[in-house]
A and B are shown apart, each in its own frame.
Chain A
């Protein structure tokens, strides 16, 4: 009979006690596809755990989920609010707040009654930590379920006992990589790894849980028993193996993070220090490291851009809402080059029929073979290929005949970056495609409005700019032209969602957003080279800034010839309005005079010897002798990052992008801009706009007016504004 107390309980967790005194807590958040540990959820669980602990009628408890997954982790929007809120400024108050969940799991662990976690499916982060605090863990046999502690991916660590319980269960050597990489395991693999006890068919999960409880098991965790010895410890001393592991791990972490990501280091320390003391002291150590990570800008910025805002973009928040949902059944790809191949691949994998058109059938077939190679690799990695490789390939039709494009819903033009070539392909496609089809161009630089003029129905023309390699790069820039209809934009976004990529909508402009901002990265590298800064310093600074490779290496990758010809085309197009860059003479030297184009020609800023690693070309010194006084690496890092951030800010100021979130997503997902910053706008907020403006002015004084901050930034500085206003 529901009591007054019962009716105050939220619907999120059902609570029932059966005739044997077994309490079952069934977590099932209404309105969400997966359970998350929001503050409210934690509160509810606190009340119920208190009941389990204090109700004499309760002999044991089962914690389970009413969904096919268990608990997906923290509520990321709450996490973002917390990271940017006031609480993080007060260490004592913050510690109290973040201790709640861990204290609650510890209370459950020590309540004196046996508790079993009946894991229905995916259990991540705090959800898995809850399971680790239960005395017994059984999982449903679902190979797709993921069990893991992925907090490192949001710049945090498992702060509710994971760093202390997992090593005590399976040893330090086995536990650390799982937490440092944030790896998830299937239930069977988790069983093999040793952190769950059993895997059973899903329909036997609860009965098995009850059976265990009725066996009168001990309600004590291993680390709360006398004489507990952690795996990897002998006589209270770490084994040599464990000790050596930490030394090596510190070095490996510095190599991989280049000191930009504090979370792995904190995880290492939480485990190193916490496993030397009893568990309660270890949990306290873990908590303090967790709080320091929350106060570090990396966590908040990472959650904001890579999780909260990416999810919103993936859900097409930018899509015009009054237009019905559409689905592409058949897509035509013009051009089987590197981009066309990748676009065909992702489309076929998403279940679409794909027609690849190239100049001759050999080229078109080769494009299809690229998909085969990618599918084979994907399968080897353990990915599931729906229907199998041949089924996917059967959906790809290579051809040299444009008439095979009949019946397509969408065309993606990915031919050579030349107006004439594009116009020709457009005309030929236009002649055969249905009048309702959308025509998208993958151009990376030519303004869409101008290209749309070559198509009979500019309202149905749009830019869809992919990134190489298409199978791996998440971002698609969606660029409506001046005449593009809202329906076209909606359909384009629907397609991006079908291929499961992240769209940002960008206003038409030469080079759009990503190409315009990205290229200043290699350009600044070349500018510094021309000033006599040592090339190794430039490259190391680029990587240490968080870019995936150095700017000179990137120039080689992109091909200096391409960069040079884009510049030349721009000059031709805009004439007197062309603004030259310090990189221009460097490009001219390498492309026109030295014939060193980049990686494809095995010679650029680097030499690319067969069978060996690339190395900086020794001839650079002759053309750009190194200055006697070299700048500090931090200064070089700053130039590299600030130059890109300034260009992004200019794009916002000029309405090329309409909101900072697009700018941040585009930067991180499009060209790998220092992911730990959360993107250029997050970075500017973190530095502080006033401080950023002042630093840019100093850089402009020293190095040129490409560092002048745009008026938008000056105004924001004067008004004390932020790109992401704080809600307090």
Chain B
């Protein structure tokens, strides 16, 4: 078996996921096309060397449908020989795209892959594909389908995280993200998105609110009370009948932001380095996906992290930095508790609460973010993980070279 290396990565800034967001006027295919061009051009790649483009996208219908992976490659003037596919493992799609790319390289089936993702949440809303899971009453019933916010509040209830606990974490995410941007830590990897005239539409994550405080967050009403009372609290408690009542603590300020974004990671075999004139930056050491209880949904990261550590023959102590998608503050608190991860080793540049979570792209963005940070700090290993819809979890370990 061959090793799979990360040669480069690039991402768009994350636009606010609303009609007034700076990327709202950019079609999803245009957004990811600019990112695909950039990842090619940064290395002055002959795109015919690329075997495949693997793009994560969680609402792959309408203008995000018809296999964005292949079509965006064509749109980006990649050589016609470059295949493409779209992949959906919900929130981990971007990371799963990276893992699929790595697997193909390790298996010797491909030599060079562009793996990433795209999601224009301001244009194609989450859940707009109206899949069976939430919408077919028989399936929703059978699987105890519960929206993830209720699951997050259940985690807070089970683990006894108070409103202040989750809000304090959210404030940290904001402050770390603001500091990281101010220090220019993202500069080398964030691609300004431009209009057809070449004018910049967006060059910085715009969801951030650096002046957030615990007391400013305290003014926000919990977002999932009405939904819970309409039936979902009961559904989840039927799955967890030792709970008397779900304490609702999550809201827009301590949950991942809805944003638009795209990302791409260049993954290849060692031999490709000379062909493309680049040194590899990191080795993809191991990756894993798991399933866990789908109704509470958000408990995957610990299981996925433990599995990938096992696969890599490593222990928690061998990991220098963690990058966990901040779907909800309670998810992060639980992961830190379960894995005994100190706060200063995880999401050290802030996370999705501050910067947003463009569903299909986030996983790839997290890989890039933590790789840049490993390089900046001179550290060796990182573990990237996300909680995933329907109780899955995905994790990847990278090793800086």
What is the predominant secondary structure among interface residues of chain A facing chain B?
A: helix
Q: How far is the CB of B222 from chain A (nearest CB, A)?
A: 16
Check if B141 is an interface residue, CB within 8 A of chain A: yes
B137's contact among A238, A249, A536, A630, by CB below 8 Å, is which?
A: A249
Query: If A252-B231, A254-B235, A265-B141 touch, does A247 touch B135 (CB 8 Å cutoff)?
Result: yes
From B134, B137, B146, A253 is in contact (CB under 8 Å) with: B137
Inter-chain CA distance A263–B245, complex, in Å, is 27
- Whether A540 is near chain B, meaning CB under 8 Å from some CB there, is yes
Of B134, B241, B244, the contact of A633 (CB 8 Å cutoff): B241
Given the complex, which residues of B lie within 8 Å of A233, measured CB to CB?
none
Q: Is the CB of A254 within 8 A of B231?
A: yes
Asked if B232 lies at the interface with its beta carbon under 8 angstroms from chain A, I say yes
Say whether B230 faces chain A, with CB atoms less than 8 Å apart.
yes
Please tell me the size bucket of the interface on A: 20 to 34
User: A251 with B244: in contact, given A243-B135, A259-B238 (CB under 8 Å)?
Assistant: no
Closest to B136 in A: A272
Separation of A537 and B244 alpha carbons in the complex (Å): 8
Q: Which one of A238, A247, A249, A534 has the greatest number of beta carbons of chain B within 10 Å?
A: A247
- Scoring B141, B145, B243 by chain A CB atoms within 10 A of each residue's CB, the highest score goes to B141
Q: What is the minimal beta-carbon distance from A201 to any residue of chain B, in angstroms?
A: 42
Q: Are A252 and B242 in contact (CB under 8 A)?
A: no
Q: 1/0 per residue B217-244: CB within 8 Å of A?
A: 0000000000000111111011001111
Residue B345 lies at the interface, judged by CB distance under 8 Å to chain A: no
**Per-residue B-contact encoding for A253-266, CB less than 8 Å = 1, 0 else:** 11110110000010
A212 within 8 Å of B by Cβ? no
Q: Does A246 contact B (CB under 8 A)?
A: yes
B242 touching A540, Cβ below 8 Å: yes
Chain A CB within 10 Å, residue with most, of B146, B234, B237, B241: B241
Q: State whether the Cβ of B138 lies closer than 8 Å to any Cβ in chain A.
A: yes
B232 contacts across to A, CB distance below 8 A: 251
Chain A window 143-168, contacts with chain B (Cβ cutoff 8 Å), 1 for yes, 0 for no? 00000000000000000000000000
| A616-B244 contact, Cβ under 8 Å, with A255-B235, A265-B141, A544-B238 | yes
Q: How far is the CA of A105 from the CA of B227 in the complex (A)?
A: 41
Asked if A255 and B231 make an inter-chain contact with CB atoms under 8 angstroms apart, the answer reads yes
Which residues of the other chain, B, contact A524 by a CB distance below 8 angstroms? none
**Any chain A CB within 8 A of the CB of B140?**
yes
Contact B137 A268, beta carbon cutoff 8 Å:
yes
Main secondary structure, interface of B, reads helix
Q: Does A559 contact B (CB under 8 A)?
A: no
Q: Which residues of B contact A537 (CB under 8 A)?
A: 241-242
Q: Check A250–B241 contact: CB distance below 8 A.
A: no
Contact: A248 with B230, CB < 8 Å? yes
Q: Which of B135, B137, B145, B234 has the most CB of A within 10 A?
A: B137
Chain B hits for A26, CB < 8 A? none
* B130 located at the interface, meaning its Cβ lies under 8 Å from any Cβ of chain A in the complex: yes
A431 at the interface (CB under 8 A from B): no
B interface, size bucket: 20 to 34
Which listed residue, A258, A272, A535, touches B238 by the CB 8 Å rule?
A258
Residue in contact with B130 in the complex, picked from A238, A250, A633, CB distance below 8 Å: A238
CB distance from A449 to the nearest CB of B (A): 44
Write the nearest CB–CB distance from B367 to chain A, whole angstroms.
Answer: 33
Question: Of all chain B residues, which has the CB nearest A267?
Answer: B137
A535 to B242, CA, bound (A): 8
CB pair B137 A272 closer than 8 Å: yes
Q: Are B241 and A269 in contact (CB under 8 A)?
A: no
Q: Per-residue CB proximity of A215-251 to B under 8 Å, as 1/0?
A: 0000000000000000000000010000100111111
B276 → chain A closest CB, angstroms: 45
CB contacts (< 8 Å) of B135 on chain A: these are: 243, 246-247
Q: Which residues on the B side are within 8 Å of A238 (C-beta)?
A: 130
Tell me the chain B residues, 136-173 only, with Cβ under 8 Å from chain A.
Answer: 136-138, 140-141, 144-146
Query: How near does chain B come to A197, taking the closest CB pair, in angstroms?
Result: 31
The 22 sampled A-B contact pairs (Cβ below 8 Å) are A246-B135, A246-B137, A247-B140, A250-B140, A250-B141, A251-B140, A251-B235, A253-B137, A254-B141, A254-B234, A254-B238, A255-B230, A256-B231, A259-B238, A265-B137, A265-B138, A268-B138, A272-B137, A272-B138, A534-B242, A540-B241, A544-B238
Q: Which A residues are CB-close (under 8 A) to B130?
A: 238, 243
Query: Which B residues, 13 to 52, have Cβ-Cβ distances below 8 Å to chain A?
Result: none
Mask of A519-542 contacts with B, CB within 8 angstroms, 1/0 = 000000000000000111101110
A376 within 8 A of B: no
Residues of B within 8 A of A541 (CB): 241
**Residues 234-280 of B at the A interface (beta carbon under 8 Å):** 234-235, 237-238, 241-245
Interface centre among A250, A252, A539 (most CB of B within 10 A): A250
The CA-CA distance from A535 to B241 in the complex, in Å, is 10
Name the CB-closest residue of B to A254: B235
Taken together as a complex, chains A and B put the C-alpha atoms of A615 and B244 apart, in Å, by: 8
Per-residue contact bits, chain B 111-147, to A (CB 8 Å; 1 contact, 0 not): 0000000000000000000100011111011001110
| Nearest CB of chain B from residue A673's CB, rounded to whole Å | 20
Q: How far is the CA of A540 from the CA of B240 in the complex (A)?
A: 9
A525 to B: closest C-beta gap in Å: 14
Q: Are A536 and B136 in contact (CB under 8 A)?
A: no
Inter-chain contact B230/A544, CB cutoff 8 Å: no
Within residues 615 to 633 of chain A, which ones have a CB less than 8 A from any CB in chain B? 615-616, 630, 633
Whether the Cβ atoms of A252 and B230 lie closer than 8 Å is yes
The 10 A-B residue pairs whose C-beta atoms are closest, nearest first, are A251-B231, A255-B234, A536-B244, A540-B241, A268-B137, A255-B231, A250-B137, A250-B140, A252-B231, A633-B241
Name the residue among A251, A265, A615 with the largest chain B CB count within 10 angstroms. A251
Please, which residue of chain A has its CB at the minimum distance from the CB of B243?
Answer: A536
Q: Specify which chain A residues have a CB less than 8 angstroms from the CB of B231 in the assembled complex.
A: 248, 250-256
Tell me, in angstroms, the Cα distance from A438 to B133 when the chains sit together.
Answer: 63
User: Which residues of the partner chain B approach A534 to less than 8 Å between Cβ atoms?
Assistant: 242
Task: Report B89-114 CB contacts with A as 1/0, cut-off 8 Å.
Answer: 00000000000000000000000000
Residue of B nearest to A269 (CB): B138
- Whether A540 contacts B237 by the Cβ 8 Å rule is yes
CA distance A59 to B147 in the complex (A): 56
Residues in B with CB closer than 8 Å to A259 are 141, 238
Separation of A390 and B234 alpha carbons in the complex (Å): 44
Q: Please tell me if the beta carbons of B235 and A536 are within 8 angstroms of each other in the complex.
A: no
- What is the minimal beta-carbon distance from B8 to any residue of chain A, in angstroms? 40
Given A248-B231, A251-B230, A253-B141, check contact A630 B242 (CB 8 Å): yes
Interface string of A438-455 (1 = CB under 8 A from B): 000000000000000000
How far is B145's CA from A100's CA once the two chains are assembled, in angstroms? 37
List A contacts of B237 (CB < 8 A).
540
Q: Are B137 and A539 in contact (CB under 8 A)?
A: no
Kindly provide the distance from the CB of B126 to the nearest chain A CB, expressed in whole angstroms: 13
Known: A248-B231, A268-B137. 17 other contacts (CB 8 A): A243-B130, A243-B135, A247-B135, A247-B145, A250-B141, A250-B145, A250-B231, A252-B231, A253-B141, A254-B141, A254-B144, A254-B231, A255-B230, A544-B241, A615-B245, A616-B244, A633-B242
Interface code B294-310, partner A: CB below 8 Å = 1, 0 otherwise? 00000000000000000
Across the interface, which residues of A come within 8 angstroms of B137, CB to CB? Answer: 246, 249-250, 253, 265, 268-269, 272
Contacts of A253 in B (CB 8 A): 137, 141, 231
B311 CB, nearest partner CB in chain A, Å:
32
* B242 to chain A: closest residue by CB: A537
Residues of A contacting B238 in the complex (Cβ-Cβ under 8 angstroms): 254, 258-259, 540, 544
Report Cα–Cα, A272/B135, bound state, in Å.
9
Contacts of B146 in A (CB 8 A): 251
Docked CA distance A269–B138 (Å): 6
Query: How many angstroms between the C-alpha atoms of A633 and B238 in the bound complex?
Result: 9
Name the interface residues of A630-645: CB closer than 8 Å to any CB of B: 630, 633
A252–B140 Cα distance when bound, in Å, is 11
Bound: A248/B233 CA distance, A: 12
- Which B residue sits closest to A289, measured CB to CB? B138
Report the separation of the CA atoms of residues A541 and B235 in the bound assembly, to the nearest whole angstrom.
13
